[in-house]
């Protein structure tokens, strides 16, 4: 398969849900003005970080990868898993590729990414991490860079998701997104980069000044922001996608064949209306799968901090 982009940069915003549409985000709006955007991508069910980031980086749902926050915090991701991470799939296709995983919540790098495949990595708070990442982009021009910001989720837990304080933190992270985008421009790679912003889940707003939570399947928890910009990306609204589709999007962009669609395994797909490519198969409905179910979850809201 032809490689479409030399570089893919994914900026993950933990706990942002669909709330980008309510926040003051001029940089996000400008970066994706000609790109593809949706505020209705579906999270994984349950709407918890490990289940969601795991689905995105592995291309399989939580009912298959079976990761949770406790596991990814305490167990290195198996290097021989039948569900390799995107990083391993890219490494196997391109042995010399520069791969980076820079996450505030380090269990993503520790518990979802294999530790033996030469992935550059670091962890720090969002504001501290961005200068490190920008230097990394300028110096290494990574083939694939994944990063995760955690502060938006922190604001949601503390103040409630969708509150003024939560939206203010999204606005502050907007500046950080622009820093990363600008670093790719400084490095001279932005014209050959697929640039993505994606959230893992949203959360609730109980009001009364109480903090929010997530893990359930209310609209505030299950709908998330996804945006992509780059050559060949169609301008407009993506009608239907699941966050796990990130895995298919990244492989397609780097010219790597994805596994066959399999309800017991790989269920990541290229959303309709994302790329200007008639050869992409029609999007399949996966809503009957447990980890993608658009139903009221029986999973209770948890006190998960992430
Ligand atoms: Zn999360």
- The domain in which residue 152 lies consists of 7-292
Residue 278 Cα to ligand 1 middle (Å): 34
Residue 16 Cα to ligand 1 middle (Å): 8
Residue 147 Cα to ligand 1 middle (Å): 13
Residue 102 Cα to ligand 1 middle (Å): 15
Question: What is this structure's pTM?
Answer: 0.95
Residue 69 Cα to ligand 1 middle (Å): 9
Residue at 162 is within a domain: yes
Residue 197 Cα to ligand 1 middle (Å): 14
Residue 276 Cα to ligand 1 middle (Å): 31
Tell me the pLDDT of the chain averaged across its residues.
Answer: 94
- Report the number of distinct structural domains present in the chain: 1
Residue 229 Cα to ligand 1 middle (Å): 23
Residue at 127 is within a domain: yes
Residue at 299 is within a domain: no
pLDDT tens-digit series, residues 149-183: 999 999 999 999 999 999 999 999 999 999 999 99
Could you tell me the pLDDT band of residue 298, with boundaries at 50, 70 and 90?
Answer: very low
100 pLDDT exceeds 80?
Answer: yes
Residue 89 Cα to ligand 1 middle (Å): 24
Can you give the CATH number for the domain in which 109 is found?
3.40.720.10
Residue at 302 is within a domain: no
305 pLDDT exceeds 90?
Answer: no
User: What secondary structure, in 3-state letters, does the chain show?
Assistant: CCCCCCEEEEEEECCCCCHHHCCCCHHHHHHCCCCEEEEEEECCCCCCHHHHHHHHHHCECHHHHCCCHHHHHHCCCCCCCCCCCHHHHHHHHCCCCCEEEEECCCHHHHHCCCCCCCEEEECCCHHHHHHHHHHHHHHHCCCEEEEEECHHHHHHHHHCCCCHHHHHHHHHHHHHHHHHHHHHHHCCCHHHEEEEEEECCCCCCCCCCCCCCCCCCCHHHHEEEEEEECCCECCEECCCCECCHHHHHHHHHCCCCCCCCCCCCECCCCCCCCECCCCCCCCCCCCCCHHHCCCCCCCCCCCCCC
Residue at 251 is within a domain: yes
Residue 305 Cα to ligand 1 middle (Å): 8
Residue at 70 is within a domain: yes
pLDDT tens-digit series, residues 61-91: 999 999 999 999 999 999 999 999 999 999 9
pLDDT value, residue 297: 46
Residue at 303 is within a domain: no
């Amino acid at each position: 398969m032809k490689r479409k982009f030399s570089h893919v940069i994914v900026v993950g915003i933990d706990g942002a849900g669909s709330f980008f549409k309510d926040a003051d985000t001029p940089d996000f709006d400008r970066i994706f003005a000609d790109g593809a955007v949706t505020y209705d991508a579906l999270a994984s069910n349950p709407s918890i970080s490990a289940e969601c980031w795991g689905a995105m980086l592995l291309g399989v749902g939580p009912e298959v990868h079976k990761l949770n926050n406790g596991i990814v915090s305490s167990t290195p991701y198996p290097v021989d898993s039948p569900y390799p991470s995107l990083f391993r799939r890219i490494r196997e296709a391109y042995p010399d590729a520069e791969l980076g995983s820079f996450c505030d919540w380090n269990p993503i790098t520790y518990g979802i990414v294999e530790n033996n495949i030469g992935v550059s990595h670091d962890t720090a708070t969002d504001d501290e991490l961005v200068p490190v990442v920008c230097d990394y982009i300028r110096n290494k021009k990574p083939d694939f860079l994944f990063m995760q910001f955690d502060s938006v989720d922190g604001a949601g837990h503390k103040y409630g998701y969708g509150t003024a304080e939560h939206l203010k933190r999204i606005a502050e992270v907007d500046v950080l997104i622009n820093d990363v985008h600008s670093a790719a421009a400084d490095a001279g790679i932005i014209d050959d980069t697929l640039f993505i912003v994606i959230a893992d889940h949203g959360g609730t707003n109980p009001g009364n000044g109480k903090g929010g939570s997530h893990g359930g399947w209310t609209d505030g928890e299950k709908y998330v922001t996804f945006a992509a910009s780059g050559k060949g990306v169609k301008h407009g609204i993506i009608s239907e996608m699941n966050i796990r589709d990130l895995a298919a999007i990244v492989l397609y962009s780097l010219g790597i064949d994805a596994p066959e669609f399999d309800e017991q395994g790989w269920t990541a797909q290229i959303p309709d209306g994302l790329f200007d490519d008639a050869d992409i198969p029609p999007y399949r409905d996966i809503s009957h799968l447990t980890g993608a179910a658009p139903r009221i979850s029986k999973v209770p809201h948890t006190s998960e901090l992430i």
